[in-house]
Structure 1
Amino acid sequence: MWLLRGAPKNKEVAERILKQRGDKLTPEERAYLLETIRMGLEAERYIKEIEKQKKASKEA
């Protein structure tokens, strides 16, 4: 779970780099940053789902 917690922050950093360096990136760097952003979004959704499940189990 702790690895998932870092993914949203990595996403933010990747978005910032992509915005700042945009045209100067190689195709490989751009692909890596886009994949990092995608993984960060996926981790955010997963974390929200886990937290929702924890909340539901505490209420039950």
Structure 2
Amino acid sequence: MDMFNDATTMIRDYIVDHGDEWEKIITNPEFTKNFEVKGTKLKNAPKTYDPEHS
């Protein structure tokens, strides 16, 4: 696995384990004035992730 895939996996794992913290970050006014998160989930779950996880 290359460095990009390793980093992506680490980020996904952290978000899965800290969903409340992720929601707090992406709804924070300091974040939303510079960034916009579109959508609520991926079309397809990445391999090894539960497609029913919310």
Superposed pair shares fold, TM > 0.5: no
The TM-score normalised by the length of structure 2 is 0.34
The structure whose Rg is larger is: 1
